[in-house]
Protein backbone atom coordinates (compact mmCIF):
# COMPACT_ATOMS: atom_id res chain seq x y z
CA UNK A 1 0.00 0.00 0.00
CA UNK A 2 1.39 3.33 -1.10
CA UNK A 3 -0.67 6.02 0.62
CA UNK A 4 -2.64 6.81 3.78
CA UNK A 5 -5.78 6.44 1.67
CA UNK A 6 -4.76 2.91 0.71
CA UNK A 7 -4.53 2.09 4.42
CA UNK A 8 -7.89 3.70 5.15
CA UNK A 9 -9.70 1.90 2.34
CA UNK A 10 -8.02 -1.41 3.20
CA UNK A 11 -9.10 -1.17 6.83
CA UNK A 12 -12.76 -0.42 6.10
CA UNK A 13 -14.81 -0.59 2.92
CA UNK A 14 -17.38 2.05 1.98
CA UNK A 15 -15.77 4.82 4.03
CA UNK A 16 -18.11 7.29 2.33
CA UNK A 17 -20.91 4.80 1.84
CA UNK A 18 -21.98 3.10 -1.34
CA UNK A 19 -24.69 5.57 -2.28
CA UNK A 20 -23.84 8.60 -4.43
CA UNK A 21 -23.36 12.12 -3.22
CA UNK A 22 -26.83 13.62 -2.79
CA UNK A 23 -26.08 16.66 -4.97
CA UNK A 24 -24.89 14.42 -7.81
CA UNK A 25 -27.94 12.17 -7.46
CA UNK A 26 -30.21 15.23 -7.56
CA UNK A 27 -28.46 17.05 -10.41
CA UNK A 28 -27.16 14.47 -12.89
CA UNK A 29 -30.62 13.31 -14.09
CA UNK A 30 -31.22 16.85 -15.37
CA UNK A 31 -28.57 16.32 -18.08
CA UNK A 32 -28.68 14.36 -21.31
CA UNK A 33 -26.79 11.11 -20.76
CA UNK A 34 -23.23 11.30 -22.08
CA UNK A 35 -19.69 11.04 -20.74
CA UNK A 36 -18.68 11.95 -17.20
CA UNK A 37 -15.29 12.23 -15.52
CA UNK A 38 -15.07 11.81 -11.75
CA UNK A 39 -11.65 12.78 -10.39
CA UNK A 40 -10.72 11.66 -6.87
CA UNK A 41 -13.67 9.24 -6.84
CA UNK A 42 -12.27 6.98 -4.11
CA UNK A 43 -14.17 3.70 -4.02
CA UNK A 44 -16.34 4.76 -6.93
CA UNK A 45 -19.73 5.39 -5.35
CA UNK A 46 -20.43 8.35 -7.63
CA UNK A 47 -19.16 6.58 -10.72
CA UNK A 48 -21.31 3.57 -9.89
CA UNK A 49 -24.40 5.77 -9.70
CA UNK A 50 -23.65 7.47 -13.03
CA UNK A 51 -22.95 4.14 -14.74
CA UNK A 52 -26.29 2.79 -13.52
CA UNK A 53 -27.93 5.83 -15.16
CA UNK A 54 -26.34 4.90 -18.49
CA UNK A 55 -23.43 7.34 -18.45
CA UNK A 56 -20.04 6.53 -19.93
CA UNK A 57 -18.03 6.81 -16.72
CA UNK A 58 -14.35 7.60 -16.39
CA UNK A 59 -12.97 7.91 -12.86
CA UNK A 60 -9.59 8.11 -11.22
CA UNK A 61 -8.14 8.18 -7.75
CA UNK A 62 -4.69 8.08 -6.21
CA UNK A 63 -5.55 5.04 -4.09
CA UNK A 64 -5.01 1.62 -5.64
CA UNK A 65 -7.19 0.04 -2.97
CA UNK A 66 -10.02 2.51 -3.64
CA UNK A 67 -9.89 1.94 -7.39
CA UNK A 68 -9.89 -1.85 -6.97
CA UNK A 69 -13.03 -1.53 -4.84
CA UNK A 70 -14.63 0.67 -7.52
CA UNK A 71 -13.88 -1.93 -10.18
CA UNK A 72 -15.33 -4.70 -8.03
CA UNK A 73 -18.47 -2.72 -7.22
CA UNK A 74 -18.98 -2.03 -10.93
CA UNK A 75 -18.52 -5.70 -11.78
CA UNK A 76 -20.98 -6.74 -9.07
CA UNK A 77 -23.51 -4.21 -10.38
CA UNK A 78 -23.03 -5.34 -13.98
CA UNK A 79 -21.99 -1.91 -15.22
CA UNK A 80 -18.86 -0.60 -16.87
CA UNK A 81 -16.56 2.07 -15.48
CA UNK A 82 -13.17 3.12 -16.80
CA UNK A 83 -11.15 3.39 -13.57
CA UNK A 84 -7.56 4.59 -13.33
CA UNK A 85 -5.08 4.85 -10.48
CA UNK A 86 -3.59 8.30 -11.00
CA UNK A 87 -2.63 11.51 -9.27
CA UNK A 88 -4.88 14.44 -10.18
CA UNK A 89 -1.93 16.35 -11.64
CA UNK A 90 -0.73 13.44 -13.77
CA UNK A 91 -4.07 12.50 -15.31
CA UNK A 92 -4.20 12.95 -19.08
CA UNK A 93 -7.62 12.12 -20.55
CA UNK A 94 -8.05 10.59 -23.98
CA UNK A 95 -11.19 12.65 -24.55
CA UNK A 96 -13.16 15.62 -23.27
CA UNK A 97 -16.30 15.13 -21.19
CA UNK A 98 -19.90 16.30 -21.04
CA UNK A 99 -19.73 16.49 -17.24
CA UNK A 100 -16.86 16.69 -14.76
CA UNK A 101 -17.86 16.04 -11.15
CA UNK A 102 -15.71 17.21 -8.23
CA UNK A 103 -17.05 15.91 -4.93
CA UNK A 104 -15.00 16.74 -1.84
CA UNK A 105 -11.88 17.00 -3.99
CA UNK A 106 -10.01 19.37 -1.67
CA UNK A 107 -6.46 20.36 -2.58
CA UNK A 108 -3.75 22.26 -0.72
CA UNK A 109 -4.10 26.00 -1.39
CA UNK A 110 -1.04 26.15 -3.64
CA UNK A 111 -2.55 23.45 -5.90
CA UNK A 112 -6.26 24.23 -5.79
CA UNK A 113 -6.49 26.81 -8.58
CA UNK A 114 -4.31 24.74 -10.91
CA UNK A 115 -6.44 21.66 -10.26
CA UNK A 116 -9.60 23.62 -11.02
CA UNK A 117 -8.12 24.88 -14.29
CA UNK A 118 -7.33 21.29 -15.22
CA UNK A 119 -10.90 20.29 -14.42
CA UNK A 120 -12.26 23.01 -16.70
CA UNK A 121 -9.96 21.84 -19.48
CA UNK A 122 -11.36 18.30 -19.21
CA UNK A 123 -14.78 19.60 -20.29
CA UNK A 124 -16.14 19.70 -23.81
CA UNK A 125 -17.39 23.09 -25.00
CA UNK A 126 -20.88 23.26 -23.53
CA UNK A 127 -19.93 20.70 -20.86
CA UNK A 128 -20.82 21.21 -17.22
CA UNK A 129 -18.77 21.11 -14.04
CA UNK A 130 -20.53 19.97 -10.87
CA UNK A 131 -18.87 20.51 -7.50
CA UNK A 132 -19.72 19.97 -3.88
CA UNK A 133 -17.14 20.59 -1.19
CA UNK A 134 -16.81 21.82 2.36
CA UNK A 135 -17.20 25.52 3.10
CA UNK A 136 -14.80 27.27 5.49
CA UNK A 137 -17.57 27.20 8.11
CA UNK A 138 -17.21 23.39 8.21
CA UNK A 139 -14.56 23.82 10.90
CA UNK A 140 -17.37 24.25 13.45
CA UNK A 141 -18.67 20.76 12.61
CA UNK A 142 -17.19 17.28 12.94
CA UNK A 143 -18.90 15.61 9.97
CA UNK A 144 -15.79 15.30 7.80
CA UNK A 145 -13.38 17.24 5.65
CA UNK A 146 -9.97 18.85 6.05
CA UNK A 147 -9.35 20.61 9.36
CA UNK A 148 -7.22 23.16 7.53
CA UNK A 149 -9.25 26.26 6.63
CA UNK A 150 -7.01 27.00 3.64
CA UNK A 151 -8.20 23.78 1.96
CA UNK A 152 -11.90 24.67 2.28
CA UNK A 153 -14.11 26.61 -0.12
CA UNK A 154 -16.17 29.78 -0.36
CA UNK A 155 -18.47 30.72 -3.25
CA UNK A 156 -16.26 33.75 -3.91
CA UNK A 157 -13.19 31.53 -4.22
CA UNK A 158 -14.94 29.20 -6.66
CA UNK A 159 -16.29 32.09 -8.72
CA UNK A 160 -12.71 33.27 -9.19
CA UNK A 161 -11.28 29.79 -9.85
CA UNK A 162 -13.97 29.04 -12.43
CA UNK A 163 -14.26 32.54 -13.90
CA UNK A 164 -14.16 31.08 -17.42
CA UNK A 165 -17.38 29.11 -16.84
CA UNK A 166 -20.95 30.31 -17.16
CA UNK A 167 -22.00 29.85 -13.52
CA UNK A 168 -25.60 28.85 -12.84
CA UNK A 169 -25.27 27.79 -9.18
CA UNK A 170 -22.70 28.77 -6.56
CA UNK A 171 -24.16 28.67 -3.07
CA UNK A 172 -23.23 28.06 0.53
CA UNK A 173 -25.65 25.96 2.53
CA UNK A 174 -25.87 23.59 5.46
CA UNK A 175 -26.83 19.99 4.81
CA UNK A 176 -27.10 16.76 6.75
CA UNK A 177 -24.54 14.26 5.48
CA UNK A 178 -25.12 10.52 5.60
CA UNK A 179 -22.22 9.22 3.51
CA UNK A 180 -20.54 6.34 5.29
CA UNK A 181 -18.63 6.68 8.56
CA UNK A 182 -16.47 9.63 7.44
CA UNK A 183 -19.28 12.01 6.35
CA UNK A 184 -21.95 12.00 9.05
CA UNK A 185 -24.00 14.86 10.46
CA UNK A 186 -24.53 18.56 9.94
CA UNK A 187 -22.15 20.13 7.43
CA UNK A 188 -21.41 23.42 5.69
CA UNK A 189 -20.90 22.97 1.97
CA UNK A 190 -20.66 24.86 -1.28
CA UNK A 191 -22.54 23.58 -4.33
CA UNK A 192 -21.45 24.80 -7.73
CA UNK A 193 -22.62 24.32 -11.33
CA UNK A 194 -20.82 25.94 -14.25
CA UNK A 195 -20.87 25.41 -18.01
CA UNK A 196 -17.94 25.77 -20.38
CA UNK A 197 -18.60 28.45 -22.98
Beta-bridge partners for 37:
58, 100
Lowest mean pLDDT among 7-11, 19-23, 99-103, 104-108: 7-11
pLDDT, one tens digit per residue, over 39-73 is 999 999 999 999 999 999 999 999 999 999 999 99
**Domain total for the chain?**
1
pLDDT of res. 2: 67
Question: Measured between alpha carbons, how far is 195 from 126 in angstroms, rounded to an integer?
Answer: 6
CA-based nearest residue to 16, from 27, 5, 26: 5
Spatial contact of 70 and 95, defined as CB atoms under 8 Å apart = no
pLDDT of res. 98: 98
75 SS3 class:
helix
pLDDT of res. 3: 82
Domain of 174, CATH number, reads 3.40.50.150
pLDDT of res. 6: 92
Domain extent for 115: 4-8+17-196
Amino acid sequence: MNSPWDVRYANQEALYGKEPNAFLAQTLPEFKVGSILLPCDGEGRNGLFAARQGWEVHAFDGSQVGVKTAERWASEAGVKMHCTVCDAFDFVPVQAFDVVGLFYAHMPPDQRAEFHVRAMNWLKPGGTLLLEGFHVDQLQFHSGGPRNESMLFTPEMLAQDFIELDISQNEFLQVSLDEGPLHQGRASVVRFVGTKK
